Chain A
Amino acid sequence: MKPANNARYAAPMVLLHWLMAILIVTAFAVGLKIWSLPLSPLRLKLILGHKSAGIAVLLLLALRVIVRLASHVPPLPAHMSPIEQRLAHLGHLALYVLMLAVPLSGWAMSSAYGIPVVFLGVLHLPEWIASDPTLAEQLRWLHRGLNLLLALTIVGHAFFALKHHFFDHDGMLNRMRLGGSRSMEK
């Protein structure tokens, strides 16, 4: 028997989750590479792609918040204590806040350097911070710090998702599984 539909996130949420996961991990890896490279044509090309990925994350995040508010969010497993449920919600909130803060800090940093952000080579985004080299350097560190926080939060997120699935056997991964629901293991 198929589990009830309300045990899963709505299909658009699942799609957005995995699309953003791929984008975020890629943008993060490219960001690390940019950090390690000296100034070169390759580095400039990577920065261009990295910025577009970050702006794509912002756009998809806006869409995701709308879809989340408009769609069914499956309840957390009943075996979780109220405190555990509260912590899980806080963790998810942290992910959302960081998915907003990380690209915004990157965009702000670029603005402060006086370098426009052009999404996918066509859409010239506004510079919302006046050119200021000192502020730009500070924003660069903020961008790195927020990225470190996001990376740690994502690792925690993945760790708990796997822990639920393989230790608690509560079918946690099924909530976000691509390609429709499968019967739970238990």
Chain B
Amino acid sequence: MKPYLAACLLVASAPLLAAPIDSGQSRIDFTLKQMDIPMQGQFKRIGGDVTLDPANAAQGRANLTIQIASISLPTADATAQTKQPAWFNATRFPTAQLITSSIKPLGGNRFQFSGKLTIKGTTRDVSAPFTLSRQGALSVVDGTLPVSRLAYKVGEGEWADTDTVADSVLIKFHIAYPSSK
């Protein structure tokens, strides 16, 4: 019975077979504003899988896992600081996760995803437009997602002050995965 069930599931999910992302080609950058001065950072290690056929976008989905410890900011001080409990608390919450619930075509190569973003144990609904392009054997998803850092309690205590670090952080995602065909 069990092998049969597994086979059924496999067949049922075949058109949606998730492709693991190409971690080396994928990156998540973010821009924060420190006293109105823009500053760039990034997460270097991202994993997960993406299923997205442009012809059948509604069936698409993505599940991304971001390793918090792979964060990088302009200074070593800042990089170390963001792993502390007041910021990401990387020991207790080593990953952030984005799981899409729906993908809608917006025309051409543009789409909109809705889903849930979990950072530091807090889950919020998020939605953002993105583009899909082919780069050789890879499909690449590019988009930006503004988030409120305070909604996820990233930057607590003295760091909750938005005059020092603005609440809004712009996340830029560039996710590459093997094209299905």
Binding site for B on A (CB under 8 A): 38-41, 44-45, 48, 113-116, 118, 121, 131, 133, 136
B76 contacts across to A, CB distance below 8 A = 133
B39 touches A115 (CB 8 A): yes
**Structural contact, B39 and A41, CB atoms closer than 8 A:** no
Which B residues are CB-close (under 8 A) to A118? 36-37
Q: Assess the A113–B74 pair: CB atoms within 8 A.
A: yes
Q: Which residues of B contact A115 (CB under 8 A)?
A: 37, 39, 74-75
Among A41, A48, A113, A116, contact of B75 (Cβ-Cβ < 8 Å): A113
Q: Is B40 an interface residue (CB 8 A)?
A: yes
Interface segment, one of B99-107, B156-164, B171-179: B156-164
Contact between A39 and B81, CB atoms less than 8 A apart = yes
Q: Which of A39, A45, A136 contacts B35 (CB 8 A)?
A: A45
> Do A121 and B38 contact each other (CB < 8 Å), given the known contacts A41-B161, A133-B76?
no
Indicate the member of A38, A44, A116 with the most B CB atoms within 10 Å: A44
Besides A115-B37, A115-B75, 6 more A-B contacts (Cβ < 8 Å) are A39-B77, A39-B81, A45-B164, A115-B39, A121-B35, A136-B75
Total A-B contacts with CB atoms under 8 angstroms apart:
36
Smallest CB gap from B75: residue in A: A113
Minimum CB distance partner of B164 in chain A = A41
Q: Report the Cα distance A42→B150, complex, angstroms.
A: 19
CB of B74 within 8 A of CB of A116, answer no
* B83 shortest CB reach to chain A, Å: 12
- How many of chain B's residues touch chain A, expressed as a range? 10 to 19
The answer on a CB contact under 8 Å between B74 and A131 is: yes
Q: 24 interchain pairs (CB within 8 A)?
A: A38-B77, A39-B77, A39-B78, A39-B81, A40-B158, A41-B158, A41-B159, A41-B161, A44-B34, A44-B35, A45-B164, A48-B37, A113-B74, A114-B40, A114-B74, A116-B38, A118-B36, A118-B37, A121-B35, A121-B36, A131-B74, A133-B74, A136-B74, A136-B75
List B21-78 residues whose CB lies under 8 Å from chain A: 34-40, 74-78
* Most chain A CB atoms below 10 A, which of B34, B38, B75: B75
B contact residues around A114 at 8 Å (CB): 39-40, 74
